[in-house]
Each structure stands twice: as C-alpha cells, then as structure tokens.
C-alpha cells in the first residue's frame, strides 16, 4: 500500500488506490450536486421520480401496522427467508394477474425495491463488455447499474409506440455478428421512465419473437403499469412467455417507496440463482417491511388506492401538458397515458445540462436528458416528472422552465447554436 500523505488527502480520494477498477463507474454526476438545492421549499422540483404519498391514508397504514404487530409481530421483528414472505408472494400473484401475468409462488422473490432486483439480475448475467439492449432513452437507475457492471449499453431506436422491433433486430444481429455477447434486453414497456411511452401490443409480440430467435433474455420492468389514465396498457410481455422473460414489479409507485419492497418473477433456474444471490447480499429482504405491505394489502382497498393515484396523476399530467402547450410552443413533448413523466425535446443545439443552473436560479429543477443515455446522447432533452408537486406547482414549474428555455431558444436563433 502506498504511503498516504494525509495533508493531501480529501474525504474522497484517501482510498483511491484501493478501489476495485469498476468503482470508476460510480462517479457522482454533476447533476446530483445541484440536487441539494432542489430540496429548498421555494424550488419546484420536476426532477426526482417520486410518488405523491400524501395521497395515502395514514390512519389505514397505522391500522395495518397495529394489526401486523398483533398477529405476526415476532415474525416481523425476526430474520426471514431469502426468497421473502410466502403470504406476500401469494398476494403478489393477485397483483401481477392484473397485467395478465401468472406465475407460481415458488418463482417469485421479494427484493429491496425493484432496483435491487435489477442489481441482482445484472450481477448474475453481465460480464465486462457484455451487451445490454435498452430503449432510447432508458431508466437512469438501470443505466447506472449496467455501467457499474462494465456492460456495453446499446440504445435502440424508440418512438411513441415504444422500442422499434426493426431497430432491435438490426442492433442485436449486428452486435452478435461482430462477436459480442448480447445478454439481455431491458425494457420498461408501460409509461416508461423517462419517456412516458408505452410499447404497443403488436410490438410486444414482435420483440418477444426476435429475442426468442436470437436467445436474448428479456428483463421486463413494470413499476407503472397500473397507473394508467384511460385505457389499460397491453398485457405484459411475460404474459406471453414464461421462460424468456424476467418480470419486475414494485410497491413503490402503487403504495410507498419508503418501505423498499419490490419483487421479481423468474423462470425456476434463474429464480434459484437469484435467491442465492439475494441471501449472499442481504440474508433476507426486510421482514418488517414485507409484513407491513402484506397486512396493508389484506386490510385495505388497495385497488381503490391505486385508482386514487391514477386520478391524481392524471390531473397532474393534464396540468403539465397544458403548461407545455401554453409556455413552450417550440418544444416537443411526449403525451403519456400513465405514469410520472413527460420527455421534452428542445430545438437542436440547446443543452439541458448547461441550462440547469439557470433553471435553479429561476426556482425550478428537472433532470437533463443525458442522464438517461449511456452514450452521451440526450443533450437537448429534459425529463419532467409531474407526479410529486401539486398540479398548480407543476404548471408554475413549467412556466419558470419556459423563462430559461425560451430565452435560450431566442439566443440560439439569433446567434446560432455555438452561443
């Protein structure tokens, strides 16, 4: 070990010489630094993808807690099994059935949020340089994990009907032909984060066909499927294939993210490995949180709560879309039928990351588009999350955002994109 000069050391680099090489990929984004400002009450944050938990019934959760302690308190306070609470896994079967997904209790595993499931799956499948196919753009938390695993992230052309099957086949075949191991396709088919786009039923069938043909595992991540504003989205891809799809779900968006309870349904062989990986990482998922979720499901009208969330987010989506229409006439937006997000495309030449400090001085924050790509794209995109602020504040936030964007557009038009 080299001698450490403590006079030179900072909190951050003291052990730099000891990190694993892959820790390089855990760098804090510049954007994160600005987010400390975002928690100030005067700033409208359209940044973090947070549910509006103020719509939950606190009394009911207290009741679930008391009932859990009275009936299963000793179990809730104890270690549990690595696969998760059997009663909760049965209840999850009922939730998954809403999306056409049917699977054995034996093949469900509880995780610490679906983020943890993604980490375990990635660790199980990805060696350095392996290819993960993803939408363009893709979920920032997944991109972060794939990067940490030193995978090659290949974004596949995606439009307002979801990922393009033609582009998927082209990318997969090209990469396979050039000797790459294409390990998985990671998708958020319903009301995607960050685009808000939903994959059509026809494309689901085509995507599945391509992946089967080329031996590519599909990881279907579906935290938003129940948060539809009109029609239900098409049935899950997993409803069409129980061997080629690993399906992820979460209580974060239909109940509460603070409990950190998610789940994965996998073909038996993969599930077995995932349980071993789960035990190796955390021994058992948090018993207390699982049992609280289970009790909540048992005593509440949880489907009614989801309907409440739907109405609430629909109102906020409407506020967001009409504010974009009113204040940002030169900006293209997706028009999501559910979920939390709008994806804005600014005129070419504008840089949303550079604009963020200006936006913060206008008391609004957002996530720049580059966060959702592993290859530097997205400079002229912005993710707007409308789920957390009130509908009024969503509109206020977008109006503030327009002060910055419209000024940049004007400068761009006057002086060109070099300005």
Footprint of ligand PMP on this chain (CB under 6 A)?
A: 49, 113-115, 139, 141, 188, 193, 221, 223, 250, 252, 257, 262
What is the C-alpha separation between 183 and 128, in angstroms, rounded?
11
What is the C-alpha separation between 148 and 30, in angstroms, rounded?
17
Neighbours of 66 (CB within 10 A): 12
**In angstroms, what is the minimal distance from the CB of 261 to ligand PMP?**
8
What is the C-alpha separation between 241 and 217, in angstroms, rounded?
11
User: 125 vs 139, which CB is nearer to ligand PMP?
Assistant: 139
User: 371 vs 395, which CB is nearer to ligand PMP?
Assistant: 371
User: 139 vs 296, which CB is nearer to ligand PMP?
Assistant: 139
What is the C-alpha separation between 411 and 417, in angstroms, rounded?
8
What is the C-alpha separation between 293 and 255, in angstroms, rounded?
8
**In angstroms, what is the minimal distance from the CB of 73 to ligand PMP?**
26
**In angstroms, what is the minimal distance from the CB of 171 to ligand PMP?**
21
For the chain, counts of helices (H) and of strands (E): 12, 15
Planar angle of CA 116, 117, 120, nearest 5 degrees: 85
Hey, what are 355's tokens?
Answer: 């604009």
Neighbours of 4 (CB within 10 A): 12
Hey, what are 43's tokens?
Answer: 């700033």
**In angstroms, what is the minimal distance from the CB of 176 to ligand PMP?**
26
Is the Cβ–Cβ distance between 360 and 38 less than 8 Å?
yes
Instruction: Give residue for tokens 């009113």.
Output: 326
Hey, what are 343's tokens?
Answer: 């994806």
**In angstroms, what is the minimal distance from the CB of 49 to ligand PMP?**
4
| DSSP-assigned letter for residue 351 | -
Hey, what are 1's tokens?
Answer: 């070990």
H or E element, residue 385: strand 381-385
**In angstroms, what is the minimal distance from the CB of 286 to ligand PMP?**
13
Hey, what are 3's tokens?
Answer: 């001698």
**In angstroms, what is the minimal distance from the CB of 416 to ligand PMP?**
37
Residues 6+ apart with CB under 8 A from 335: 160, 196, 321
Tell me phi and psi for residue 8, to 5 degrees.
-90, -20
**Residue showing the smallest CB distance to ligand PMP in the complex:** 113
Q: How many CA atoms lie within 13 A of 355 on its CB side?
A: 31
**In angstroms, what is the minimal distance from the CB of 14 to ligand PMP?**
30
User: 121 vs 395, which CB is nearer to ligand PMP?
Assistant: 121
User: 239 vs 255, which CB is nearer to ligand PMP?
Assistant: 255
**In angstroms, what is the minimal distance from the CB of 197 to ligand PMP?**
12
User: 362 vs 378, which CB is nearer to ligand PMP?
Assistant: 378
User: 152 vs 224, which CB is nearer to ligand PMP?
Assistant: 224
User: 261 vs 356, which CB is nearer to ligand PMP?
Assistant: 261
> How far out from the chain centre does Cα 206 lie?
23
Hey, what are 168's tokens?
Answer: 């998927």
**In angstroms, what is the minimal distance from the CB of 50 to ligand PMP?**
8
User: 226 vs 250, which CB is nearer to ligand PMP?
Assistant: 250
User: 252 vs 287, which CB is nearer to ligand PMP?
Assistant: 252
Hey, what are 93's tokens?
Answer: 């079967």
> Torsion angle of alpha carbons 350, 354, 357, 362, nearest 10°?
0
User: 328 vs 385, which CB is nearer to ligand PMP?
Assistant: 385
**In angstroms, what is the minimal distance from the CB of 339 to ligand PMP?**
9
């Amino acid at each position: 070990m080299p001698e450490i000069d403590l006079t030179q050391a900072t909190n951050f680099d003291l052990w730099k010489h000891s990190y694993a090489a892959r820790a390089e990929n855990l760098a804090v984004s510049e954007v994160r630094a600005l987010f400390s400002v975002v928690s100030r009450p005067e700033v409208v944050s359209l940044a973090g993808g947070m549910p509006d938990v103020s719509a939950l019934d606190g009394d009911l959760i207290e009741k679930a807690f008391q009932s859990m302690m009275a009936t299963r308190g000793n179990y809730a306070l104890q270690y549990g099994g690595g696969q998760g609470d059997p009663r909760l896994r049965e209840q999850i079967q009922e939730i998954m059935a809403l999306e056409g997904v049917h699977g054995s209790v034996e093949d469900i595993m509880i995780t610490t949020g679906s983020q943890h499931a993604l980490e375990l799956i990635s660790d199980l499948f990805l060696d350095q340089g392996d290819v993960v196919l993803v939408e363009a753009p893709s979920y920032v938390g997944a991109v972060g994990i794939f990067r940490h695993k030193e995978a090659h992230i290949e974004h596949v052309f995606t439009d307002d009907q979801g990922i393009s099957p033609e582009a998927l086949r082209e990318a997969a075949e090209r990469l396979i032909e050039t000797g790459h191991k294409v390990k998985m396709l990671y998708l958020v088919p319903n009301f995607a984060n960050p685009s808000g786009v939903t994959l059509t039923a026809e494309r689901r069938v085509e995507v599945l066909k391509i992946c089967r043909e080329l031996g590519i595992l599909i990881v279907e991540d579906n935290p938003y499927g129940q948060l539809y504003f009109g029609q239900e989205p098409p049935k899950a891809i997993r409803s069409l294939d129980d061997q080629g799809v690993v399906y992820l779900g979460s209580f974060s968006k239909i109940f509460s993210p603070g409990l950190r309870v998610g789940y994965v349904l996998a073909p038996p062989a993969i599930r077995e490995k995932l349980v071993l990986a789960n035990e190796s990482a955390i021994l058992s998922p948090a018993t207390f949180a699982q049992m609280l979720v289970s009790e909540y499901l048992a005593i509440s009208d949880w489907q009614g709560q989801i309907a409440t969330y739907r109405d609430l987010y629909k109102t906020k989506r409407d506020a967001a879309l009409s504010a974009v229409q009113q204040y940002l006439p030169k900006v293209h937006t997706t028009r999501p039928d559910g979920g939390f997000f709008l994806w804005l495309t600014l005129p070419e030449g504008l840089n949303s990351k550079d604009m963020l400090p200006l936006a913060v001085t206008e008391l609004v924050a957002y996530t720049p588009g580059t966060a959702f790509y592993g290859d530097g794209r997205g400079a002229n995109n912005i993710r707007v999350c409308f789920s957390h602020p009130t509908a009024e504040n969503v509109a206020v936030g977008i109006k503030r955002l327009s002060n910055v964007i419209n000024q940049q557009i004007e400068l761009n038009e006057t002086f060109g994109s070099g300005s």
